[in-house]
């Protein structure tokens, strides 16, 4: 299943935006244009349905509805999200599912945010349409979605499960390496990879070995002298990864993950995550710490590693190297353009002059800069 279309109203710096999506999407734009905010919509939907989550908790975790609602919005309008889901791309254009919610909070009256509407369609048949009679009798019911309630989402549990399995990654090598060295409890979502070794260790052995073998094969091509990737446990039962390199003494010279390079750790984290699930994967700047030559091939490595089954991948990037892959189509690149009225989303293929250049054989990387650089960058010299 994949997200085939999304429409946002008053979500953070998107007063009104909508875009269709395929198996891959590359979010590009200057700093603070809203790439992470865009990814956050899918994390928000996941937070609504996950265990211990729910609409109220997801909003509280983000500082309340007033933080999520677009600052450019006038008065107190709904924050609205509408998502279409396709069972698989082969099923054609018609979305199999559509889910939409509007969220409101009055200045007076109910103090907590509530649903102004919640609707679900399956194959264009309306399955849920709230507020319904029960909601009108008991307004407090509107403080929860039906999506988050097992006894109310029976007919559309597939979409609840889909949102629940979305994975967001912003891997930080130091946290992968020293998971216990940083204060604070690990976030259950674990975007930075703190629980990563644990996740590997608790995967059933056959699956774990098969995935590590795939990753090992990829690393042999990408990291010089890399030979073997093994998973072990130390005397205290704590899981570790070990690597064997070609050039070392024939026996005994193994390295644990705390000695792996930043790039090696990020590649392992990235690859494992690709293989770990079936559905949506949200990546923040996967290019970080990686050598240019790898970044240039990253888009196709991500594609090939996960065949035959593919996760839908939506990633943010600042890397023109990553976008230099000619396999990336203009319709896969979402340009986030900040304006005075908030950020707009454009597909590169919808911009006339960009499309002409792409059709003429240029790569996205060749043409992207004028669309993504901050407009006043040339005035930096005045700050000397």
Ligand X SMILES: Nc1ncnc2c1ncn2[C@@H]1O[C@H](COP(=O)(O)OP(=O)(O)OP(=O)(O)O)[C@@H](O)[C@H]1O
7 strand-pairing partners: 18, 82
Q: Which token pair is 289?
A: 């710490």
CB of 27 to Mg ion, least distance (A): 9
Is 203 or 319 the residue whose CB approaches ligand X more closely? 319
Q: Which of 325, 326, 330, 332 is nearest to 296 (CA)?
A: 325
Q: Does 317 contact ligand X by CB under 6 A? A: no
Is 159 or 322 the residue whose CB approaches Mg ion more closely? 322
Q: Does 36 contact Mg ion by CB under 5 A? A: yes
Q: Which of 256, 141, 247, 151 is nearest to 197 (CA)?
A: 256
Question: Site for ligand X (CB under 6 A): which residue of 4, 13, 105, 289?
Answer: 13
Question: Rounded distance, CA 289 to CA 302, Å?
Answer: 16
Give, in order, the Cα–Cα distances in Å from 127 to each of 7, 118, 154, 162, 183.
Answer: 20, 10, 11, 17, 45
Question: Site for ligand X (CB under 6 A): which residue of 31, 151, 180, 376?
Answer: 31
Is 35 or 43 the residue whose CB approaches Mg ion more closely? 35
Binding to Mg ion (CB under 5 A): which residues in 6-35? 35
Specify the pairing of strand 333-339 against strand 342-347.
antiparallel
Q: Which of 217, 232, 321, 311 is nearest to 268 (CA)?
A: 217
Give, in order, the Cα–Cα distances in Å from 134 to each of 55, 112, 140, 178, 274.
Answer: 19, 19, 10, 51, 42
Which does residue 12 bind out of ligand X, Mg ion, none, counting CB within 5 to 8 angstroms by kind? ligand X
Question: Site for ligand X (CB under 6 A): which residue of 21, 34, 172, 312?
Answer: 34
Question: Which segment (63-71, 81-89, 232-240, 362-370) binds ligand X by CB under 6 A?
Answer: 63-71
Question: Which segment (25-33, 159-167, 197-205, 246-254) binds ligand X by CB under 6 A?
Answer: 25-33
Question: Which segment (28-36, 91-99, 204-212, 367-375) binds ligand X by CB under 6 A?
Answer: 28-36
Any idea which residue has 């340009």 for tokens?
335
Q: Does 320 contact ligand X by CB under 6 A? A: no
**Residues lying near ligand X in the complex (CB under 6 A):** 12-13, 29, 31-37, 67-71, 316
Q: Which residues of this protein are in contact with Mg ion, per CB under 5 A?
A: 35-36
């Amino acid at each position: 299943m994949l997200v085939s279309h999304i429409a946002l109203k008053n979500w953070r710096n998107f007063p009104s935006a909508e875009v269709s999506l395929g198996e891959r999407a590359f979010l590009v734009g200057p700093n603070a244009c809203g790439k992470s905010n865009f990814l956050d919509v899918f994390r928000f939907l996941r937070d609504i349905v996950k265990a211990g989550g729910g609409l109220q908790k997801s909003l509280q975790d983000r500082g309340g509805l007033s933080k999520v609602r677009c600052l450019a919005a006038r008065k107190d309008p709904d924050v609205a999200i509408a998502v279409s889901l396709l069972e698989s791309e082969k099923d054609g254009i018609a979305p199999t599912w559509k889910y939409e919610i509007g969220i409101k909070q009055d200045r007076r009256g109910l103090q907590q945010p509530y649903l102004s509407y919640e609707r679900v369609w399956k194959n264009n048949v309306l399955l849920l349409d709230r507020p319904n009679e029960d909601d009108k009798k008991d307004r407090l019911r509107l403080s929860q979605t039906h999506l988050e309630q097992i006894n109310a989402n029976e007919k559309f549990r597939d979409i609840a499960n889909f949102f629940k399995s979305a994975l967001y990654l912003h891997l930080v090598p130091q946290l992968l390496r020293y998971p216990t060295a940083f204060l604070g409890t690990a976030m259950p979502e674990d975007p930075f990879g703190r629980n990563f070794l644990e996740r590997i260790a608790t995967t059933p052995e056959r699956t774990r070995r098969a995935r590590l073998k795939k990753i090992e094969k990829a690393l042999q091509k990408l990291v010089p002298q890399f030979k073997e990737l093994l998973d072990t446990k130390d005397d205290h039962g704590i899981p570790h990864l070990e690597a064997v390199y070609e050039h070392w003494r024939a026996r005994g010279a193994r390295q644990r993950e705390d000695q792996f390079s930043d790039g090696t750790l990020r590649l392992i984290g990235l690859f494992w995550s690709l293989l770990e699930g079936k559905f949506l994967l949200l990546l923040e700047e996967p290019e970080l710490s990686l050598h240019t030559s790898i970044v240039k091939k990253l888009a196709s490595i991500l594609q090939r590693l996960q065949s035959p089954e593919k996760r839908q991948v939506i990633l943010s990037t600042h890397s023109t190297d990553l976008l230099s892959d000619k396999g990336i189509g203009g319709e896969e690149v979402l340009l986030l353009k900040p304006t005075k009225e908030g950020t707009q989303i454009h597909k590169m293929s919808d911009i006339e002059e960009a499309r002409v250049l792409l059709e003429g054989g240029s790569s996205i990387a060749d043409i992207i800069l004028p669309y993504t650089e901050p407009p006043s960058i040339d005035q930096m010299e005045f700050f000397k």
